Chain A
Amino acid sequence: MNRFEEELKNNNFICSECPKCKHLVWPPSDFCNKCLGDVVWRPVSKKAILVEVSKKDEKQFCIGEFENSIRVFGILEGRTNIIPGQSITLKHCRYENTPIFEFQTD
């Protein structure tokens, strides 16, 4: 299990960042995908912007964007009248053979 998965298991969403390029590397990697230099790991902000939203069996899910960079799918709880561009918050994350993200509307 790599560091990203280990931290996610503990409800910590971290990502690799290139100190030289000041660039978040997504998907997380041991090397920067711009300069191929070494990366450092840091927490990702819990605040996100809603990119798109849909429903399956009345359950809402979405794509959220963190720090103008990382976009992930996740469950979206809260208001159902939310539209892209509005802010959402990462409520919980975990790892169960795959990353699982749960957002909450603000």
Chain B
Amino acid sequence: MKKVAIVSTGITKFDKTEKPLDSLMLSSVKHLFENTINLEQKDVDVVLTSTNANKNYFANIISELSGIKPKISHSVESLCNSGTNALISAYAYISSGLAETALVVGGEKTDNPGLVLNWDLSRGEFKHPIFWATMFTGAHMRKYGTTLEDLAYVSVKNHKNALDNPYAYFEKAFSMDDVMHSKNLTENIRLLDCSMPCDGSAAILLCSEENAMKYTDTPIWITGIGQKTISAGFTKNNSLSSMESTKIAVKDAYSMSDKTAKDVDVIELHDAFSVCEIIELEDMGFCLKGKGAELVRDLYETGDKKVNPRGGLIGTGHPLGATGIAQAVEICNQLRGEAKKRQVAGAQTGLVHNMSAGSTSSTVLVLES
């Protein structure tokens, strides 16, 4: 298999706008082209789009509007981890030799249909994501003594990190008191424990090792990939205090890259709700099981930006099809030393964790400079 590099990125401000989806996605493609030396439309032989928007022939439409005539173009949809799944598809085309250069562009509008989990008979009338989140939260609290205050630290930390991210939806800090007293959605989920659906787009250019230096002096290598689907229905999660698909995906990604949690300098993980960050830190080996809340509190108190430096989904916003790509954009910025105020000093190895529908599927990428 050929080595595959990320050679350039583009992103838009996460916001709520009147802009149509195609224009939003073209904005991040434009940003990517502006960021890339020597890149011409004719160089791109794969275009993959990531969105939940139910748009027919959408990758072809984006290709046409971008002036690209690719060999391969199609959409990838897997709810919230559509973006990283599209990156893996692009990786596969390049590593197999079917293509040399792939553009992956994700985008979403606030009102996209991926926000209500209609297909899952197990959820009955409880289709909104807060209902799976409250079950994870209750189970983790019961088993490990996690408190509402522990959960609030995730939100306060990630909103604080987002203040240094010019592309983040939120531009405001929230105190512990703000989070603790934000509107109760369930007995253990408050409004500020939730990521915010919004408009946004992000794009990444992947390239084979042979051509990478044509476009950048600082390629970022995809060295580990793990992807696991356990089901479509939420109630197939055997444990509600851990995420089975995440544990399997991260194990595979560590194995492929020959890394462990100890080697990872910076992480963007899928904090759709506060409890997710705590469980994912535990399940990916960054602390012992039951110690995730303690780790988050320590990160907050020391100002350590190692986890979700761009603000995660809670601080940055969650445009589903763009999220996984935006997470990877941040890790690339970190590994290139270009994350400005968010920079984790000396970061050389980064991890992206992106999951869907109450961790019924997860994707993990290990990236290295």
Residue A44 CB within 8 A of the other chain: no
Q: State whether B240 touches A52 (Cβ < 8 A).
A: yes
Classify the interface of chain A: helix, strand, loop or mixed.
Answer: strand
A54-B134 contact given A27-B233, A71-B235, A73-B235, CB 8 Å threshold: yes
Other contacts beyond A52-B135, A71-B235, A98-B118: 7, CB < 8 A: A4-B121, A28-B121, A73-B131, A83-B142, A84-B142, A100-B124, A100-B125
- Distance to closest chain B CB from A98 (angstroms): 6
Q: Hey, which chain B residues are within 8 Å of A42, CB to CB? A: none
Binding site for B on A (CB under 8 A): 4, 26-28, 51-56, 61, 63, 71-74, 83-84, 96, 98-101
A55-B186 contact given A27-B122, A27-B233, CB 8 Å threshold: yes
A27-B121 contact given A56-B186, A56-B187, CB 8 Å threshold: yes
> Can you spell out 27 A-B residue pairs with CB atoms less than 8 angstroms apart?
A4-B121, A26-B122, A27-B120, A27-B121, A51-B240, A52-B138, A54-B186, A55-B187, A56-B185, A56-B186, A56-B187, A61-B126, A71-B122, A71-B235, A72-B121, A72-B122, A72-B123, A72-B124, A73-B235, A84-B139, A84-B142, A98-B125, A99-B121, A99-B124, A100-B124, A100-B125, A101-B124
Binding site for A on B (CB under 8 A): 118, 120-127, 131, 134-135, 137-139, 142, 185-188, 233, 235-236, 240
Q: Hey, which chain A residues are within 8 Å of B122, CB to CB? A: 26-27, 71-73
Docked Cα-Cα span, A51 to B135, in Å, equals: 9
CB-nearest residue of chain A to B233 = A27
Q: Hey, which chain A residues are within 8 Å of B188, CB to CB? A: 54
Q: State whether B187 touches A52 (Cβ < 8 A).
A: no
Q: State whether B235 touches A54 (Cβ < 8 A).
A: no
- Distance to closest chain B CB from A74 (angstroms): 6
Docked Cα-Cα span, A27 to B124, in Å, equals: 12
A63-B186 contact given A52-B135, A98-B127, CB 8 Å threshold: no
- Distance to closest chain B CB from A28 (angstroms): 8
CB-nearest residue of chain A to B132 = A73
Q: Hey, which chain B residues are within 8 Å of A101, CB to CB? A: 124
Q: Hey, which chain B residues are within 8 Å of A73, CB to CB? A: 122-126, 131, 235
Q: State whether B142 touches A63 (Cβ < 8 A).
A: no
Docked Cα-Cα span, A24 to B125, in Å, equals: 22
- Which 4 A-B pairs give the minimum distances between C-beta atoms? A71-B235, A54-B134, A55-B187, A73-B126
Docked Cα-Cα span, A63 to B121, in Å, equals: 13
Q: Hey, which chain A residues are within 8 Å of B138, CB to CB? A: 52-54
Docked Cα-Cα span, A26 to B187, in Å, equals: 29
- Distance to closest chain B CB from A17 (angstroms): 16
CB-nearest residue of chain A to B126 = A73
CB-nearest residue of chain B to A8 = B121
Partner of B139, one of A28, A52, A55, A98: A52
Docked Cα-Cα span, A54 to B128, in Å, equals: 14
- Distance to closest chain A CB from B10 (angstroms): 39
Q: Hey, which chain A residues are within 8 Å of B233, CB to CB? A: 26-27
Docked Cα-Cα span, A47 to B214, in Å, equals: 65
Q: Hey, which chain B residues are within 8 Å of A96, CB to CB? A: 125
Residue of B137, B138, B142, B240 with most chain A CB atoms under a 10 A cut-off: B138
Q: Hey, which chain B residues are within 8 Å of A51, CB to CB? A: 235, 240
Q: Hey, which chain A residues are within 8 Å of B126, CB to CB? A: 61, 73
- Distance to closest chain A CB from B275 (angstroms): 12
CB-nearest residue of chain B to A55 = B187
- Distance to closest chain B CB from A73 (angstroms): 4
Q: State whether B187 touches A63 (Cβ < 8 A).
A: no
Docked Cα-Cα span, A61 to B135, in Å, equals: 10
- Distance to closest chain B CB from A75 (angstroms): 8
Q: Hey, which chain A residues are within 8 Å of B137, CB to CB? A: 54
Docked Cα-Cα span, A72 to B125, in Å, equals: 10
Docked Cα-Cα span, A17 to B134, in Å, equals: 31
CB-nearest residue of chain B to A101 = B124
- Distance to closest chain B CB from A27 (angstroms): 5
CB-nearest residue of chain B to A64 = B235
Docked Cα-Cα span, A55 to B131, in Å, equals: 10
